[in-house]
Amino acid sequence: MNMDIEKSITSNRVWPHPEVVEDLAQLRRRAPLTHCITNIVVTNFTANVLLAAGASPAMVVTIEEVADFVGIAQALLINVGTITTTDAEIMLKAAATAQETNTPWVLDPVAVGALKFRTAIVGELLKYRPTVIRGNASEILALSGVTGGGKGVESTDSSVAALPAALELAERSGAVVALSGEVDYITDGKNIISIPGGHEIMTKVTGTGCTLGALIASFLPVTESALRAATAASVLFATAGERAFKEAKGTGSFAVAFLDQLSTIGVG
């Protein structure tokens, strides 16, 4: 990593950092209704992750209802993982409505750069100014104009290598960028917060990245900044992942323990 960038990392954030503790308490108190337009692989896990943490997930995915529901919801997630022709129209309408109604929203540009159709739609979505963009190194590199050779949704670049791209993307887009990897980095283009922890086994359970994007969305309406929302969600994921690994006998029991940890962290 470039030394200048390394120096600009404001802080490491781990549980129980007082801001994260406070933000989680707010999430549980207010249970923000989070509108998730996400991929067909992770719908169930996304809802269960949000419920475990304390938010209220809802999936509303038809063109007739999407604008109304963005208006009702406190936050929105758009994840293009399994985007279809119809989804594209719905996502664009949801993003436009979020901008109009000042509903904070997260864009998860799964596999952007690897496939033309979604790359074009993500380009359109960016015009509606997401509050947060969450992605792995390949995706953040692709969005910043430097293709990373994306192999589907798996990151093939280390997160630290994509940090300059994350900074550039944050500055240019005005979004907070949440860059996921062995270490997570959250940046608003000036500050960089690094979040160590988690466990490699998380890459062997589908949706640990996609559901992080959803949880960031849930935190947006209950925290004082998007930087703080993305940080809180990432710290919870890293901590729950680390603790769950200690209880797990394999990837199946890891996923179960991960939800258990999210639903009990800081309780009692």
- Catalog residues that contact a second copy under the rule CB under 8 A: 33, 39-45, 47-48, 51-52, 56-65, 68-69, 72-73, 81-87, 111, 114-118, 151-154, 203-207, 248-253, 255-264
Closest CB 144 distance from a second copy, rounded Å: 22
Q: For residue 104, what are the contacts with CB-CB under 8 A and spacing of at least 6?
A: 74, 75, 76, 98, 131, 132, 217, 220, 221, 226, 229
Closest CB 114 distance from a second copy, rounded Å: 7
Residue 45 or 185 with smaller CB distance to a second copy? 45
Closest CB 161 distance from a second copy, rounded Å: 20
Closest CB 240 distance from a second copy, rounded Å: 10
Q: Which of 90, 99, 110 is nearest to 211 (CA)?
A: 110
Closest CB 67 distance from a second copy, rounded Å: 10
Give the whole-angstrom CA distance, residue 58 versus residue 56.
7
- Strand (E) or helix (H) holding 36: strand 33-37
Residue 91 or 230 with smaller CB distance to a second copy? 91
Closest CB 131 distance from a second copy, rounded Å: 21
Q: For 206, what's the count of Cα atoms within 13 Å in the CB-facing half-sphere?
A: 11
Sign of torsion, CA 189 90 45 218? positive
Residue 43 or 223 with smaller CB distance to a second copy? 43
**Structural contact between residues 122 and 169, judged by C-beta atoms closer than 8 angstroms:** no
Token pair recorded at residue 253: 């029991």
Residue 118 or 199 with smaller CB distance to a second copy? 118
The answer, yes or no, to whether the previous bond of 164 is cis (omega within 30 of 0) is no
DSSP lists the bridge partners of residue 77 as: 36, 106
What are the DSSP E strand ranges found in 132-261? 132-136, 176-180, 184-187, 192-195
Q: Which of 19, 155, 93 is nearest to 166 (CA)?
A: 155
Closest CB 147 distance from a second copy, rounded Å: 14
Residue 143 or 192 with smaller CB distance to a second copy? 143
Residue 132 or 255 with smaller CB distance to a second copy? 255
Closest CB 266 distance from a second copy, rounded Å: 12
Residue 95 or 153 with smaller CB distance to a second copy? 153
Sheet strands side by side (includes 105-108): 9-12, 192-195, 184-187, 176-180, 132-136, 105-108, 75-79, 33-37, 56-58
* Amino acid (1-letter code) at residue 5: I
Residue 171 or 182 with smaller CB distance to a second copy? 182
